[in-house]
Each structure stands twice: as C-alpha cells, then as structure tokens.
Amino acid sequence: MIQKYKGKSLGTLPPHIFATGLFLSFFLLFIADKAYRDMMRNGESQSIVISGESGAGKTESQKHILRFLCESWGKSLGTIEQSILEISTILESFGNAKTARNNNSSRFGKFIEIHFDTTGTIVGGFVSHYLLERSRLCGQHTSERNYHIFFQLIAGADEQLANRLKLTKPEHFDVSLHLFCAATTTQNAFCLKMSNAYLVDDVVEDYNDFQKLLQAFSHIRVSDDERNAMFEAVAAVLHLGNIKFVDEMIGFKSKYM
C-alpha cells in the first residue's frame, strides 16, 4: 500500500484508512514523499512538523511517515531502518501514558532526524527528546495513569527479574498504580493476580507491550547490562515512591521523618 503513494502528486490517489482505526489523511504520505523529493532536488534539509491537540493522532502520524520513508528509501528494512522504527516503541514505553482522552498519550516532545546519503538512501538517524512531564511521576488525574513502563515492568517481568528488583503486586506501590489494566496482563503476569484493583482496558496491554519493548531493545542492540540498568532505575522510582514523610513534634520542635 505504501508504494502506491511513492512519487505521486497530491490529490491523484484517494485517502487510505490505516489499520490502526485512525483516519489518517492521505496527504501525510504525499507530504513525506514531497519532502524527500525536494531534498533530493534542492540538496537541502527538509522538516515535517506534526502538531495538534491531545488525541489527534500525532504519534501515529509520525510512525506512518517514518515507516513510509524507511520502506521507500531504506535498504529493505535493514538494521538502520528497523532501529529507527523500533525507537518509537522504547520512547513510548518510557514517555507515554494513559490520559482521559488518549490511551497512548506522548508526555514529551521529540525531534527526529533521518539522515540520507547523496544517493537518497537512509544511512542513519537521531532522536532528541525534551519537556518530559515529570510531575506525572508523583500524581495523575482521575482515570489517568503513570508512564507505561511502570505497568509494563510489573506485568512483564519474569519471576527471576521480579524477585531481583523486589517487585510485588502493583497496589503495593504508591507512585503509579491506583489504576491498572489489560485482560492479557492478568492472565500472564504472576504478580497481578488481584481482585478489582485495576481498570480493564483492552487497548493497553502491558504484558504484550513489555515483550515488544524487549524485542525493540534487542533490535537496536541494547546490551543486557544497559537494559537491566534501566529496569533497576524504574524499580527504584517505584520503591522510592513508597517513602512516607510525616511531621513529628519533638518538644517544641518539629521534624520530618
């Protein structure tokens, strides 16, 4: 389907409804194609800016544009192209969260560079991220969740990893887990056998998404040590979130414990 839009002028093909269920306007692919052709013709860098309100489809639009570029001018989705696509999986795990309007809302900004050689073939890429919503770590609005990675780690960690990180049931952690989700999660994760302490949501599948995260780490050649260091940092945030501070009077002075 993507190849049908390659090299075509705007308006010559009808809109296409993608399998995500999102009505992405056909001009997304034409804009990506035009940016590529202008780059090759003029020898100048091109930019595509994707903006919109929450839930408008910015993240999915970005993914479709990246896939179009990688499949059209990559080397048959080789290591470089696959790494560019897989990086979205990793960024979404650590920087996306469920909000009232969007089950996969990006809570940060990103700037993605795709590098081409003089023949127009993809040779690399770079992702800059900024403005992470740090306050979400400490609290969320009603019906919202903390970042996906907290839920994915608890849902998807095998018994050995869970024991090493001292991960127990999600309701034991104050940082993130007043809402949980996913029927698949409860079926596969030993640490989530609990009553009604979670919100069932078929859109967010934490166990399956954790497996995709592990695959993405493998594709971009993240070492086991690097991966474990990330999981240890995530688990540390969960445990630190359980620390309580109370104001205690000692004589005429007060102190926090």
Which residues line the annotated binding site for ATP? 52-59
Q: How far, in Å, CA of 202 to CA of 225, rounded?
A: 32
Label each residue of the chain as H, E or C. Answer: CHHHHCCCCCCCCCCCCCCCCCCCCCHHHHHHHHHHHHHHHHCCCCCCCCCCCCCCCHHHHHHHHHHHHHHHHCCCCCHHHHHHHHHHHHHHHHHEECCCCCCCEECCEEEEEEEECCCCCEEEEEEEEECCCHHHHCCCCCCCCCEHHHHHHHHHCCHHHHHHCCCCCHHHCCCCCCCCCCHHHHHHCHHHCCCCCCCCCCCCCHHHHHHHHHHHHHHCCCCHHHHHHHHHHHHHHHHHCCCCCCEEEECCEEEEC
Annotated binding site: 52-59
Place of tokens 């692919």: 29
